[in-house]
Amino acid sequence: MRSLSELRFSVLTLFPELFGPVLQSSLVGKAAAKGLVSFDLHQIRDFTTDKHRTVDDTPFGGGEGMLLKPDVLYSAWEKAGGQRPAPAGSATILLSPQGKPFTQQMGKELAGYRHLILVCGHYEGVDERFIELCVDREVSIGDYVLTGGELPALVMIDVITRLLPGVVGNEQSVARDSLEEDLLKYPQYTRPREFMGLPVPEVLLSGDHGAIARWRRDQQLERTARKRPDLKKNPR
């Protein structure tokens, strides 16, 4: 297991005010207070050089929409610590609907990094030259288009931070999450023992830990086959 050390997120965004309430709350805020994670937000507009603070322009060749300018993004990226070649343990990620789908497994991988630069796209997209020069991977949180990359960046930060050693008090709860081993989590119950005519399954009250473990595994297999047949057909 990785020793406790800080993971730094640098975010390039046009709307840094969206991040504060989330980054200061819940487990993410507690992880920052413990020194396990840190955040620096870079307002892309601060790196413009004209009096109108222009961050976008029309695409060459015509077409709809506007593109974020490569020179402005590049300056923001350098300020955030972007380098080429990327130092070990560092990566620049563009939040984009064209990216590879973000998964729990990817979150685990990225939790092993020391510095992640998250670039929040906007408008019709980003000048391709910035992608070629600076971006290590493009990531999407789903097959739909959002107004910008801020919400996907927050989703990634939440998932990755939660996977860092020392963030969740009981690390077994992380190991038994939904989607571990490509399986959904088993049904869970708490008091009262009966609610509106629905009782807790007797096996969970039996005290037989072997029987409980078998029941939970069977429930995972059944629930995954029923709710998410797209997941791995033969789980480990």
Q: 116 CB contacts (<8 Å, ≥6 apart)?
A: 7, 8, 9, 10, 90, 91, 92, 93, 110, 160
Q: Which CATH superfamily is domain 178-227 in?
A: tRNA(m1g37)methyltransferase, domain 2 (1.10.1270.20)
Q: Is 214 a catalytic residue?
A: no
Pick the range with the lowest mean pLDDT from 9-13, 31-35, 173-177: 173-177
Per-residue pLDDT for 234 more than 90? no
Query: What's the alpha-carbon Rg for the chain, to the nearest Å?
Result: 22
Catalytic residue among 6, 57, 124, 136: 124
Query: What's the confidence (pLDDT) of residue 177?
Result: 66
Cα 20 to its chain centre, rounded Å, is: 16
Q: Which residue has the higher pLDDT, 233 or 79?
A: 79
Pick the CATH number of 7-162 from 3.40.718.10, 3.30.70.260, 3.40.1280.10, 3.40.50.300: 3.40.1280.10
Q: Is 97 a catalytic residue?
A: yes
Query: How many of the other CB atoms lie within 10 Å of CB of 196?
Result: 5
Catalytic residue among 59, 97, 165, 235: 97
Catalytic residue among 56, 127, 150, 162: 162
The mean pLDDT value for 144-156 works out to: 96
Residue 147 contacts residue 123 (beta carbons within 8 Å): no
Per-residue pLDDT for 79 more than 70? yes
Tokens 């690390």 map to which residue?
171
Q: Is 176 a catalytic residue?
A: no
Query: How many of the other CB atoms lie within 10 Å of CB of 63?
Result: 10
In the chain, where are the structural domains located? Answer: 7-162, 178-227
